[in-house]
């Protein structure tokens, strides 16, 4: 471990240190209001380190910075995801300030747990070794389980228990898969796994060329499928989304999903890149994608609780993103090799902005009307015209309509799928987008066309305004001018392919 290694890890180290610092500061200060401000200002440090690492990459013209015993790698791919995650954490902390005022004790711990979980997510984006992946995954999941149970009322503890138990089961399944892949190849380093497999003679009849790999990879996909809430491992999502504090729901649906897809991309593109293997797992992801989209959207229609509806909507979006994983380069007909991964990364960035915009409005409104039922959103259009407008545009973006970034994200991802011969999947995707319009627009209808229960204006504080403003500005900016985000995503995906 050298100083250079510490520098490579500096974003994660500073983020974890910030979490610890918040707990210490909480012991000495009386005014708890400075905690979120300190957290947001402190996030400048990991952001600055990440930018510095990015510029190092550009300056040396290398694809990745070596070090850290090859257990982790700093490349454009991991840094792109770190930027997305840091932005999501800023918005979640800003959106939490009003909620946190209501809890008497452990305010600092609330923010610290978010930061610790984010540390795990940022590590996940750069890990290239199975043991490190597992540790980072647990560092991500355990704080979230504690946060889900944070309110300690009956619904919140139920959400925490469900998340913890299902997360532990999926971790065990994932571990079993990892250990079998380790036993098959004798190593836990992703690059070495690929190297070992390429030297073996694979039988062409069985999927993945060998029964051991088939068993291992299917278990790994099952374990990761839980983390991203894809069908058939989605059953925890709606319950946990409904029971958790709403800012944590937003964190779960944006940051946790981003980190999950990051590690899936890394594992499958680095450890199992062989054409014969990638065709098999690509096909598996295509099936999961079709199932997630369809089930998520159909069940979302029946929901009356907006948090539950967003839960199923997240399942559906996991389905759309899986389409990018199914679009493996082996299927590409002379096109770009990185079409699928760059589509996934672009969608993750756009989805983070859009979903956070929607969730911040839901937090702001629900803080005032004390309800998460869609029917109670009646008349929000009159009581809070600005919030209603933001929510409407975010919902349009989630459907995949302009002017939000969701439009470009879907176009690009569907395009990648078409180019790799997955036309049938795109048809399912488009049909699903149309179906999803029904339940997204139902919220809009409630806000504008129903009579309000009271005429009191919905007001909200400065941090909340900032959270809504930042996420909505990102949604709209990248919706009108997607090129910068798209270029970043392409650069990041390029690091994965080489």
Interface with other proteins (CB under 8 A): 130-131, 134-135, 138, 142, 145-146, 149, 152-155, 157-162, 164-165, 168-169, 171-173, 175-176, 179-180, 182-183, 185-188, 196, 199, 238-239, 242-243, 305, 308
Which CA distances in Å does 1 have to 8, 67, 121, 263, 498? 11, 8, 22, 24, 26
Report how far apart, in Å, the C-alpha atoms of 27 and of each of 21, 151, 203, 276 are.
Answer: 10, 21, 62, 57
The CB-of-303 to other proteins minimum distance in angstroms stands at 9
Q: Residue for token digits 């909480």?
A: 26
Q: Which one, 184 or 208, has the nearer CB to other proteins?
A: 184
Q: Which is nearer to other proteins, 178 or 357 (CB)?
A: 178
Q: Which of residues 159 and 255 has its CB atom nearest to other proteins in the complex?
A: 159
If we measure between CA atoms, which residue out of 283, 292, 305 comes closest to residue 439?
Answer: 305
d(CA 417, CA 377): 37
Q: What is the DSSP string of 160-225?
A: HHHHHHHHHHHHHHHHHHHHHHHHHHS--BHHHHHHHHHHSPPPSSSGGGSHHHHHHHHHHHHHHH
In whole angstroms, what is the distance from residue 420 CA to residue 340 CA?
A: 9
Q: Return phi, psi of residue 180, to 5°.
A: -70, -40
- Which of 150/407 has CB closer to other proteins? 150
Least gap, CB of 304 to other proteins (angstroms)? 9
Q: Which of 197, 381, 359 is nearest to 274 (CA)?
A: 197
First to last CA, the chain: 26
What's the min distance (Å) between Cβ of 329 and other proteins?
27
| 49 versus 116: smaller Cβ distance to other proteins | 116
* Angle between the N-to-C axes of helices 306-326 and 405-419, in degrees from 0 to 180, rounded to the nearest 10: 30
Residue 102 beta carbon to other proteins: minimum distance, rounded to whole angstroms: 18
Q: How far is CA 212 from the centre of its chain?
A: 30
Report, in Å, the least distance between residue 180 CB and other proteins.
7
**Least Å from the CB of residue 249 to other proteins:** 13
Task: Name the DSSP letter for residue 272.
Answer: S
Is residue 104 within 8 Å of residue 242, measured between CB atoms?
no
Name residue, tokens 């209808």: 445
Closest-CA residue to 90 (of 155, 27, 139, 45): 45
Task: Tell me how far, at minimum, the Cβ of 104 lies from other proteins, in Å.
Answer: 16
Measure CA 22 to chain center: 25
Taking a C-beta distance cutoff of 8 angstroms, is the pair 497, 341 a contact?
A: yes
Q: How far is the CB of 117 from other proteins (least distance, A)?
A: 13
Count Cα neighbours of 299 within 13 Å in the Cβ-side half-sphere. Answer: 19
Euclidean distance between CA atoms 36 and 92, whole angstroms: 10
Based on C-alpha coordinates, what's the Rg of the chain? 22
Least spacing, CB of residue 149 vs other proteins, in Å: 5
Q: Which is nearer to other proteins, 218 or 386 (CB)?
A: 218
Q: At closest approach, how far in Å is the CB of 351 from other proteins? A: 25
CB-wise, 42 or 160, nearer to other proteins?
Answer: 160
Query: Measured from the CB of residue 179, what is the shortest distance to other proteins in angstroms?
Result: 5
């Amino acid at each position: 471990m050298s100083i250079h290694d510490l520098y490579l890890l500096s974003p994660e180290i500073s983020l974890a240190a910030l979490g610890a610092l918040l707990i210490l500061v909480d012991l000495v200060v009386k005014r708890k209001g400075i905690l979120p401000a300190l957290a947001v200002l402190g996030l400048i440090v990991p952001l600055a380190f990440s930018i510095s690492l990015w510029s190092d990459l550009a300056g040396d013209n290398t694809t990745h910075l070596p070090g850290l015993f090859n257990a982790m790698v700093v490349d454009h791919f991991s840094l792109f995801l770190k930027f997305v995650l840091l932005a999501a954490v800023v918005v979640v902390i800003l959106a939490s300030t009003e909620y946190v005022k209501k809890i008497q004790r452990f305010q600092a711990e609330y923010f610290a747990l978010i930061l610790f979980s984010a540390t795990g997510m940022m590590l996940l984006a750069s890990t290239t070794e199975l043991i490190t992946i597992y540790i980072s995954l647990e560092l991500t999941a355990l704080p979230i389980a504690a946060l889900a149970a944070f309110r300690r009322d009956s619904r919140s503890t139920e959400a925490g228990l469900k998340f913890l138990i299902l997360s532990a089961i999926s971790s065990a399944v994932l571990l079993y898969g990892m250990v079998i892949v380790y036993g098959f190849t004798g190593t836990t380093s992703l690059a070495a796994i690929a190297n070992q497999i390429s030297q073996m003679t694979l039988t062409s009849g069985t999927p993945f060329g060998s029964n051991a790999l088939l068993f291992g990879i299917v278990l790994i996909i099952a374990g990761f499928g839980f983390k991203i809430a894809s069908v058939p491992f989605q059953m925890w999502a709606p319950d946990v989304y409904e029971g958790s504090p709403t800012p944590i729901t937003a964190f779960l649906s944006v940051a946790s999903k981003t980190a999950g897809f990051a590690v899936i991309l890394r594992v499958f593109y680095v450890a199992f890149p062989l054409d014969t293997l990638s065709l098999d797992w690509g096909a598996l992801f295509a099936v999961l994608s079709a199932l997630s989209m369809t089930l998520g959207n159909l069940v979302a229609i029946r929901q009356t609780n907006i948090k539950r509806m967003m839960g199923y909507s997240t399942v559906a979006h996991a389905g759309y993103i899986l389409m990018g994983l199914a679009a493996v380069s082996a299927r590409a007909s002379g096109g770009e090799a990185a079409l699928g991964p760059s589509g996934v990364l672009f969608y993750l960035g756009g989805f983070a902005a859009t979903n956070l915009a929607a969730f911040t409005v839901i937090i702001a409104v629900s803080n005032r009307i004390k309800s998460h039922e869609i029917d109670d959103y009646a008349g929000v259009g009159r009581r809070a015209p600005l919030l209603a407008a933001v929510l409407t545009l975010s919902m349009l973006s989630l459907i995949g309509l302009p002017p939000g970034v969701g439009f470009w994200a879907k176009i690009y991802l569907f395009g990648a799928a078409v180019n790799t011969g997955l036309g049938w999947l795109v048809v399912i995707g488009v049909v699903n987008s149309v179906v999803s319009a029904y339940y997204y627009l139902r919220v809009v209808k409630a806000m504008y066309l129903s009579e309000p229960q009271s005429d009191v204006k919905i007001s909200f504080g400065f941090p909340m305004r900032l959270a809504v403003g930042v996420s909505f500005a990102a949604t709209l900016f990248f919706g009108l001018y997607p090129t910068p985000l798209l270029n970043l995503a392409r650069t990041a995906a390029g690091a994965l392919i080489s």
